[in-house]
Amino acid sequence: MPRGQAEHPTSYIIAALLLIALWYLASLLLASPELPAPPTVFYAFIAGIRADLGYHILISTFRVVYGIALAGSFAVPLGLLCYINRVDKYTAPVIYLLYPIPHIVLLPLIILLFGIGDLSKIVLIAIIVFFQILVTTRDAARNLSTNYIYSLLSLGATAKDIYRHVILPACLPKILTAMRISVGTSIAVLFFVESFATEKGLGYMIMYAWSRMDYPALYASMVAMALLGLCLYLILECVEKRLCAWIYI
């Protein structure tokens, strides 16, 4: 059980309690409005939910989920196609040239192409996550043992069968891990794209609370963002456990 331990629910609860205790301690030591104590933030969170925080969480969830889904729907097929030498020969250099660029600098171009609405926010998240998923998927497909392919060919397989029975299932654990990692990245980008030209989403809530120096509300939105990330992470982990049961034995 290489990865089984940390997923136990009690360990999550203990970790959360520990972090909250540290936070409490820090807020007492600092004694400044910039770091309110956990109970204050908790009440602000409840008040936020009673008002419109839920709506903003929903908007942010929508943007992140769409961004990751959009990225995955391009990156996964392209990465898997890199199994074919001829495809990889042209794709790999392009990937590795474009991958290290800080894609956030593309923002002006994206706004020019897709406007300043939701679409450009989703596209920027998607572009950044796209490369993370693509690179991992491509590497997984390239490192596949040819014996699996031969084994399937000996059963009379066509190219379609090879993708369905070998390449996709063999790469799926890596793909899902890449998507889990991309949750963290996409939330960081989410904050960036929601901090301007919008009046919706958790990033906006944070910036707005900050401008009013309403620190409890600021931290409440931050907690909401952390919970959003955690939920997406856990959902992907469940999907991985269901679809890739074979790696956990």
Partner 1 sequence: MIEAKKLSMVYPDGTEALRDVNFVIPAGASCSIIGPSGCGKSTLLFILAGILKPTGGRVQLGAEPREVALILQDYGLFPWKTVYENVVLGLQIRGIPKSERRRIALSLMDKLGLSSFANHYPKQLSGGMQQRVGFARALALKPKILLMDEPLSSLDALTRETLQNFLLELWKDNGMTMVLVTHSIEEAVFLGKVIIVLTPRPGHVAKIIENLNVGDENYRSKEAFFTKCREVRQNIPPAI
Q: Which residues bind partner 1 (CB under 8 A)?
A: 147-148, 150-158, 161, 165-166, 169-170, 172, 244-246, 249
Cβ pair 59, 200 in contact under 8 A: yes
Cβ distance to partner 1 smaller for residue 50 or 160: 160
Cβ distance to partner 1 smaller for residue 106 or 152: 152
Q: Whole-number minimum distance, CB 167 to partner 1, in Å?
A: 11
Cβ distance to partner 1 smaller for residue 161 or 199: 161
Q: Among candidates 68, 54, 202, which has minimal Cα distance to 123?
A: 68
Q: Whole-number minimum distance, CB 16 to partner 1, in Å?
A: 34
Cβ pair 139, 200 in contact under 8 A: no
Torsion of CA 76, 104, 185, 132, to 10 degrees: 30
Q: Whole-number minimum distance, CB 208 to partner 1, in Å?
A: 48
Cβ distance to partner 1 smaller for residue 38 or 169: 169
Instruction: Residue 31: count other Cβ atoms within 10 Å of its Cβ.
Output: 8
The DSSP letter of residue 244 is T
The DSSP letter of residue 100 is T
Q: Whole-number minimum distance, CB 2 to partner 1, in Å?
A: 13
Cβ distance to partner 1 smaller for residue 102 or 246: 246
Dist. CA 135–CA 222, nearest whole Å: 30
Q: Whole-number minimum distance, CB 247 to partner 1, in Å?
A: 8
**Stated length of the chain:** 249
Q: Whole-number minimum distance, CB 171 to partner 1, in Å?
A: 10
Give the CA distances from residue 164 to residues 169, 179, 181, in Å, rounded to whole numbers and listed in that order: 7, 20, 25
Q: Among candidates 220, 239, 111, 117, which has minimal Cα distance to 178?
A: 239
Cβ distance to partner 1 smaller for residue 37 or 172: 172
Helix axes 53-81, 85-98, angle to 10 degrees: 140
